[in-house]
């Protein structure tokens, strides 16, 4: 059993998604009893068994579909000799929970300055696998970024040095406008979950205009969250980090970014009462 769980942990650390299928109930004559487990990778590789035969083959098929959709499921399988959906002649039934396990969403923080420290801590706390990169090794001390990984990189060739995919969010927060622009040019065409850059409105307007002139499309620029974060009046590095993580969570989970009290008042008040308040 330890081998199964170690394999799952290794897969998730490597960025792979896996399914853990467990017999949660067995009635009558069945190949394995409750508790039997099998791990299924997207590649079709397996570890463990829930009894083999047609039952296991169907579970593997269902697990493959669950992995593709990213949703766990509970299925009941008949092993009776008769029945349109029967999978055998053992005479029993089993319930199998197919648990889809996804690796943590990755956050790359480009720049290891003042905002990066509280940003990394908060992002780790909400479940991101955080990687902090900078071209200054002396800033990448593990004690500055507990719970996160660190890596020294060159900003001039950043894209080739990073794990970038549709599960990856990137926050650009280097020490200079020039480095920010250099990094954004490399990443703007990547298919990322989220791409944000710190900077003033004036800086963002000038940079976006240069990128438009160089051939970037308005649609590509529209995907860049800049200035970054939600508007909460943040000033300190810690407050700025809160606003950025709030926007990262919004990008991951959805939501309006509005105060919940405002939404509750808008949804809960009777229509005529809302009208009276608006007119009054």
User: pLDDT digits over 241-260, tens only?
Assistant: 999 999 999 999 988 988 98
- Report how far residue 132's alpha carbon sits from residue 140's, in angstroms, rounded to the nearest whole number: 8
pLDDT digits 0-9 by tens, 91-120: 688 999 999 999 889 999 999 999 999 999
Residue found under tokens 């009208």: 275
Per-residue pLDDT, averaged over 145-162, amounts to 93
Is the per-residue pLDDT at 277 higher than 80?
no
Of 233, 235, 211, 231, the closest CA to residue 221 belongs to 211
Is 138 within 8 Å of 131 (Cβ atoms)?
Answer: no
Are the C-beta atoms of 184 and 159 separated by less than 8 Å?
Answer: no
Confidence of residue 268 (pLDDT cuts 50, 70, 90): low
> Which DSSP state fits 62?
H
Q: Which domains does the chain have, with CATH numbers?
A: 2-101 (no CATH), 106-253 (3.40.50.720)
Contact of 169 with 190, CB cutoff 8 Å: no
C-alpha 272/C-alpha 221 separation (Å) is 42
Give the pLDDT confidence of 188-199 residue by residue, as tens digits.
Answer: 999 999 999 998
Nearest Cα neighbor of 240 from 227, 221, 254, 252 is: 227
| pLDDT at residue 51, as a whole number | 87
For the segment 50-96, what is each residue's pLDDT rounded down to a tens digit? Answer: 988 888 999 999 999 999 998 999 999 988 755 555 555 566 889 99
CA proximity to 104, closest of 133, 125, 77, 85: 125
């Amino acid at each position: 059993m330890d081998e199964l769980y170690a394999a799952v942990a290794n897969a998730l650390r490597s960025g792979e998604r896996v399914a853990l299928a467990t017999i949660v109930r067995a009635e009558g004559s069945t190949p394995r009893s409750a508790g039997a487990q099998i791990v299924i990778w997207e590649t079709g590789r397996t570890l463990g068994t829930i009894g083999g035969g047609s039952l296991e083959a169907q579970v593997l098929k269902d697990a493959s579909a669950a992995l593709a959709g990213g949703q766990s499921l509970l299925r009941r399988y008949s092993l009776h000799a008769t029945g349109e959906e029967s999978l055998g002649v053992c005479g029993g039934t089993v319930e199998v929970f197919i648990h889809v396990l996804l690796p943590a969403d990755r956050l790359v923080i480009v720049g290891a300055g003042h905002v990066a420290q509280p940003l990394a801590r908060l992002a780790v706390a909400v479940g991101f696998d955080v990687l902090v990169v900078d071209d200054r090794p002396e800033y990448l001390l593990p004690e500055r970024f507990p719970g996160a990984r660190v890596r020294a990189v060159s900003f001039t060739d950043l894209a080739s040095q990073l794990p970038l995919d549709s599960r990856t969010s990137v926050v650009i927060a280097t020490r200079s406008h020039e480095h920010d622009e250099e990094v954004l040019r490399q990443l703007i065409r990547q298919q990322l979950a989220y791409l944000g850059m710190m900077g003033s409105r004036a800086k963002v307007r000038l940079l976006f205009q240069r990128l438009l002139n160089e051939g970037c499309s308005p649609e590509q620029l529209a995907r860049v969250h800049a200035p970054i974060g939600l508007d909460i009046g943040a000033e300190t590095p810690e407050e700025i980090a809160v606003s950025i993580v709030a926007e990262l969570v919004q990008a991951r989970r959805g939501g309006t970014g509005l105060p919940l009290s405002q939404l509750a008042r808008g949804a809960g008040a009777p229509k005529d009462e809302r009208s009276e308040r608006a007119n009054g």
